[in-house]
Every structure is written in C-alpha cells, then in structure tokens.
Amino acid sequence: AKLLRGRTILLVTHDPLEALRISQRIFIMAGRPARLSEATLPDGETPRDPAAAAVLHHHAELLRRLSTADAQP
C-alpha cells in the first residue's frame, strides 16, 4: 500500500476485503454489457486494518452489493 501512494493503479480482484484494505475507490463491474457501479469510497489511510469497525461495515455493504449486482439494470 505504501508503494501505491501517489500512483494510479487499476486493481482487479475477486477479494472485496483486499480492495477495502488498499483502495481509494472501489467499483463493481457487472452485467452484460458490463457496467461500473458508483464508487465506494472507504474511509481512512491505506493499508486499512481488516478488523476495524469501518472496514467491516464497508465489507458487509460491499458483499450485499456484489450479491445483487447482476440483478440490477
């Protein structure tokens, strides 16, 4: 995470917790044709503690959004 500061990086992952730990903005790509969701903006500096209450809250919300992503137009 320290090496990424000040740089623009595109990270594609299937691990929402990894994205929450090191990302400034998180998008969900879903559908056909693929579309990007509105950005999730995690709070705090990276790398975030995966046990922090805010990270756990965002993680639950991100999992909810992922579970319904294909159902949305």
Q: What is the pLDDT of residues 11-44, one digit of tens each?
A: 999 999 999 999 999 999 998 899 999 999 999 9
Higher-confidence position of 7 and 16:
16
Query: Scanning the structure block, which residue is given the tokens 């999730």?
Result: 40
Picking from 8-12, 51-55, 59-63, which range would have the lowest pLDDT averaged per residue? 8-12
Inter-residue contact 48 to 56 (CB < 8 Å): no
What's this model's pTM, rounded to 2 decimal places?
Answer: 0.82
Angle at alpha carbon of residue 47, lines to 16 and 40, rounded to 5° = 45
**Range list of β-strands (E), the chain:** 29-30, 35-36
Dist. CA 3–CA 48, nearest whole Å: 14
Left (φ > 0), alpha (ψ -120 to 50) or beta: where does 6 sit? left
Q: Does the pLDDT of residue 2 top 90, yes or no?
A: no
